[in-house]
Amino acid sequence: MTLPPSSDDHPDDPRRRRLLQAGALAGGLAVLPGTLAATVARTTTARTRAGRIGGTVEDGVHVFRGIPYGADTAPRRFQPALPELAWRGVRDCTRYGASTAQPGRDGPGSEDCLFLNVWTPGLADGARRPILVYIHGGGFNNGSGSDPLYDGGALCRHGDVVVVTLNHRLNAFGYLYLRDLGGEALQHSGNVGQLDLVQALQWIAQHAQAFGGDAANVTVFGQSGGGAKIATLMAMPAAQGLFHRAWTMSGQQVTAAGPRAATQRAEIFLGALGLKATDVERLRTLPMQALIEAQSVRDPSRVESSGLYFGPVVDTVTLPRHPFWPDAPPQSAAIPMVIGNTRDETRAFLGNDPDHFALTWETLPAKLRTQQFVDLDPAVVVAEYRRLYPDYTPSEVFFAATTAGRSWRGAVEELEVRASQGANTWAYQLDWHPDTEEGRRTRAFHTLDIPLVFDTIDAAGSNTGTDARARAMAATMRDALLAFARTGNPDHAGMPHWAPYSLAQRETMVFDTPSRLVDDPRGGERRLYRQAPFVQRGTQ
């Protein structure tokens, strides 16, 4: 059995954008040296602050891929990016830009990675369409905005909206905290990946009218790490006012790393490169690949074997508080928010091991000890699951418990503090899965909701199938996202009434065949895991 990886990584198109520029444009942007623009095949053009771009029209939708929203970050490694350089002529924006520097199938990537992609039904037509900005998953470690599942065409055609996806700095390049080792020049280093997102949102606001969108109606949505990045943006003063709705899928960020833990990881990273704490300046000139490889050193905070954790840091400058602890960020209290998870998250990344489907009551506790991520006695966990679900096999307990102890626990934490703020938060749980032998085995795994909300179930990498059930579920979830983007409420006529989440009822939309509103689904599991305090994995 092969399941999609939890990082959402599918092969990215690493081909670099050919720079078609020489001379200068007004607006204060520098000009790249080079040749005049060559003739490129294109069917549509638009104007950006840095110059004209050429894209294509696909089934009635204007598509531009690989638009730069910032300059090459290599000369300013670990620092906030500068604006993109200007060009003359028409820049070819028909192919995706490079992914950021990273390990894995999207790597090695490039430090010249600040690109975004736009799908829109109309250009500069005054339509003021809702803008949906997707932030990709892959934790804070890997991924890109060019996965086929993230194609915005279907959302544009069905909902008359503008869709944007993007790349930004990740892992050590985006989140290595060096302020306490490198001084004021590197005070933003632990959060420059987040600042890239702020810069992209500023670019989108500046260009909304040119792409037929409404700068006053921007929805950010993201899965896994994308949701965690959104939760972090909600607590960043620099992001305030740049988006107006937030939809997260299996991605939460309750706590961020503190400066002590982040500095310790930086010292471990330096050691893996054979450097001392006093050698920080050398990090800025080492080969990109050396920095990628050094990240594989074991993180001491993780019980399982894994590379160093890099993520947002409470640095008092860019991120002045934890994203969702001890409460929800006040600056985002008025932003409507959807917080969702899939019912069987961990089957995506623990389901590739056949041994996990052959567990016994004797072997189960040891497996749980390393994979539930919450420090509860496995014997207590197993006993409670057997009481709650007497028909479950040991393997079913394993997948349910690891799901409840990992990302779902963070979702509950966020839902509770948001509900304490007001009545503009909605919860969902995806139970639906393909009705095939493989689907019954993998069930509602992590990432399954991506092609459903994008309505890209026909795209490469989708594991939903394309039968009538899949198309109906995609229509339901797609239309909920579109309703939310348009009105700030995900309720729509094609599904049961979706009430906001409250502490009294814990209303949750269970997407299934049929979908239904359920009060406190998995309440027994929620109460079980409340016995241990929750700290976001990797942030201690």
Rounded distance between C-alpha atoms, residue 407 and residue 409, angstroms: 5
Residues 6+ away with beta carbon under 8 Å from 344: 399, 400, 403, 433, 442, 443, 444, 445
pLDDT score of 536: 85
In which residue are the tokens 């490079």 written? 98
Distance CA 165, CA 97 (A): 11
- Could you report the per-residue pLDDT of 268-298, keeping only the tens digit for each? 999 999 999 999 999 999 999 999 999 999 9
Comparing CA positions, the residue from 82, 75, 101 lying closest to residue 12 is 101
Question: For the chain, what percent of residues have pLDDT higher than 90?
Answer: 87
Question: Average pLDDT of the chain?
Answer: 92
Give the 3-state secondary structure of residue 11.
coil
Range of the domain at 426: 336-444+462-529
pLDDT of residue 8: 35
Q: What is the maximum alpha-carbon separation in the chain?
A: 73
Q: How is residue 88 annotated by DSSP? A: S
Q: What is the pLDDT of residue 14?
A: 34
Q: How confident is the model at residue 2 (pLDDT cuts 50, 70, 90)?
A: very low
* Alpha carbon distance 184, 182 (integer Å): 7
In a domain, 228, yes or no: no
Contact 151, 184 (CB under 8 A): no
Q: Quick one: CA dihedral 67, 71, 75, 77, positive or negative?
A: negative
Alpha carbons 332 and 317: distance in angstroms, whole number:
18
Q: What's the pLDDT score for residue 535?
A: 83
Helix (H, G, I), strand (E, B) or coil at 51: strand
In order of 272, 310, 477, the CA distances from 263 in angstroms are 14, 11, 41
pLDDT at 374 over 70: yes
Q: Which helix (H) or strand (E) holds 442?
A: helix 437-442
Residue of 430 and 373 predicted with greater confidence: 430
Give per-residue pLDDT as tens, 440-479: 999 999 999 999 999 999 999 999 999 999 999 999 999 9
pTM here is 0.92
Structure tokens at 495: 């599904």
Q: Is 272 inside a domain boundary?
A: no
Is it true that the peptide bond before 326 is cis, omega within 30 degrees of 0? Answer: yes
Extract the runs of DSSP E, i.e. beta strands, from 370-437: 425-430
Cβ atoms of 141 and 43 within 8 Å: the answer is no
pLDDT, residue 27, reads 35
Q: How far apart are the first and last CA of the chain?
A: 34
CB 195 within 8 A of CB 182: no
Q: What is the mean pLDDT of residues 305-325?
A: 93
Whether 285 is in a domain gets the answer no
Dump the DSSP string for 165-185.
Answer: EE----HHHHH---HHHH-GG
Q: How many domains does the chain have?
A: 1
Distance CA 453, CA 219 (A): 13
Rounded to whole angstroms, the Cα distance separating 221 from 370 reads 31
- Residue 378 resides in a domain: yes
pLDDT in tens, 142-182: 999 999 999 999 999 999 999 999 999 999 999 999 999 99
Each as own residue / partner, the long-range contacts of residues 56-63 (CB below 8 Å, 24 or more positions apart, any chain) are 56/94, 58/153, 59/153, 59/157, 60/121, 60/157, 61/119, 61/120, 61/121, 61/152, 61/153, 61/156, 61/157, 62/118, 62/119, 62/120, 62/121, 62/122, 62/123, 62/211, 63/117, 63/118, 63/119, 63/153
- Asked if 358 and 398 touch (Cβ cutoff 8 Å), the reply is no
Neighbours of 219 (CB within 10 A): 25
Domain assignment present for 514: yes
Candidates 449, 454, 478, 477; CA nearest to 464 is 449
Per-residue pLDDT tens for 485-525?
999 999 999 999 999 999 999 999 999 999 999 999 999 99
Residue 517 lies in a domain: yes
The CATH number linked to 492 is: 3.40.50.1820
List the catalytic residues.
224, 345, 446
What pLDDT is attached to residue 301?
A: 77
For 406-444, how does the pLDDT look when each residue is reduced to its tens digit (9 = 90+)? 879 999 999 999 999 999 999 999 999 999 999 999 999
What pLDDT score was predicted for residue 237? 98
- The band of 305, judged by pLDDT with boundaries at 50, 70 and 90, is low
pLDDT value for 463: 95
- Higher-confidence residue of 254 and 34: namely 254
Q: What is the pLDDT of residues 204-236, one digit of tens each?
A: 999 999 999 999 999 999 999 999 999 999 999
At residue 303 the predicted structure's pLDDT band, cuts being 50, 70 and 90, is low
Residue 172 lies in a domain: no
Domain assignment of residue 375, yes or no: yes
Residue 75 is given by DSSP the state G
| Distance, CA of 273 to CA of 398 (rounded, Å) | 38
User: Does residue 3 have a pLDDT over 90?
Assistant: no
Cis peptide before 320 (omega within 30 of 0): no
Decide if 297 contacts 268 (C-beta within 8 A): yes
Residue 304 pLDDT greater than 90, yes or no: no
4-53 pLDDT, tens digit per residue, is: 433 333 333 333 333 333 233 333 344 443 333 444 445 899 999 999 99
